Amino acid sequence: MKHGKKYTNALAQVDRTALLTVADAIEKVKAISSAGFDETVELAVRLGVDPRRAEQIVRGTLSLPAGTGKTNRIVVFAAGEAAQEARDAGADEVGADDLVARVAGGFLDFDVAIATPDLMGKVGSLGRVLGPRGLMPNPKTGTVTMDVAKAVTEFKGGRVEYRTDKVGNVQLRVGKVSFASADLSRNVHAVLEELVRVKPASAKGRYLLGVTLSSTMGPGVKIDPAHARELEEVTTPA
C-alpha cells in the first residue's frame, strides 16, 4: 500500500523496534500527527487467545473515563413504550419491522445497534448484514436490553464495545489527538485493565502479547507489553 508524504515523514520519526511506556507512546503519537483534522487515536492489543474457541473470545463494553471524542449514531429496535424511551434518550433511529426492513435494504449509517429482547427474533434475520460489521446486538455487550434509555445514554457517551477479531486482536478508539495526554492515558489504562479483567480462564501463557497506539493517519507506535502487564496489579486513579 502506497502512503503519502505526511505518513512517510511521520514513519521516519518512529523507531519501529522501540517499545515505549504508555505515556511516551501517547506523546509520540501526538507529536507525529500531521493531518488537517483532529485524528482519532486508536489502541490495538494482540491477545494470547485462540478466537476459534468460543470460550476464548474476548468481548464486552466499557466506559472510557475521558470519553471517545465522538458521539455515536445509535439505532434502536424497539416498539411501544421502549421505543418512546429510546427516542427520549436521544436515539438517532427507532423502529421495529420498519427499521429491520430499512437495514435489510442497505441502511447502515450508524455506529451502535440496540434491541429489546422481544425483537431479537426479527433482528436476527439481519445477521449477515450486521454480524460482519460488529453491529449485531448482543446481551453480553449490553445492546440487548429492556432498559434501552440507559443503553442509549451510555453509548452516546464514552461507552465502547470491544471484541477479538479472528486472530486475537482487539482494536478500539481511545480518544482524539487533541485530548490532553492525561486523558488519553486514563483511557488507554482503562482498556488494558478491562482486557486483563476479562482474561479467559482457559487462556494460558502470555496474555498481552502486543500493544500499539496510532492516530487515524499515522503509523503505529509500540507500547512495551511488559509495561502493559504491570497494569494487572494497578488500579487507574480516578
What are the structural domain ranges in the chain?
Answer: 5-68+160-233, 74-156
**SS3 assignment, position 86:** helix
Q: What are phi and psi of 76, to 5 degrees?
A: -130, 125
The architecture (CATH level 2) of 5-68+160-233 comes to 2-Layer Sandwich (3.30)
pLDDT at 64 over 60: yes
* Residue 20 per-residue DSSP state: B
Beta bridge partners of 95: 77
* Residue 238 per-residue DSSP state: -
- Cα Rg, the chain, nearest whole Å: 19
Task: Determine the average pLDDT of the residues in 169-189.
Answer: 94
**SS3 assignment, position 89:** helix
Q: What is the pLDDT of residue 97?
A: 96
CATH number, span 74-156: 3.40.50.790
Confidence of residue 169 (pLDDT cuts 50, 70, 90): very high
pLDDT at 202 over 50: yes
Confidence of residue 159 (pLDDT cuts 50, 70, 90): confident
- 5 or 189, which is more confident: 189
Write down the number of H helices and E strands in the chain: 9, 9
Torsion on CA atoms 170, 174, 176, 179, rounded to nearest 10: -150
Distance CA 43, CA 191 (A): 9
Confidence of residue 25 (pLDDT cuts 50, 70, 90): very high
Q: What is the pLDDT of residues 89-108, one digit of tens each?
A: 999 999 999 999 999 999 99
Residue type, 33: S
Percent above pLDDT 70 for the chain: 89
**SS3 assignment, position 49:** coil
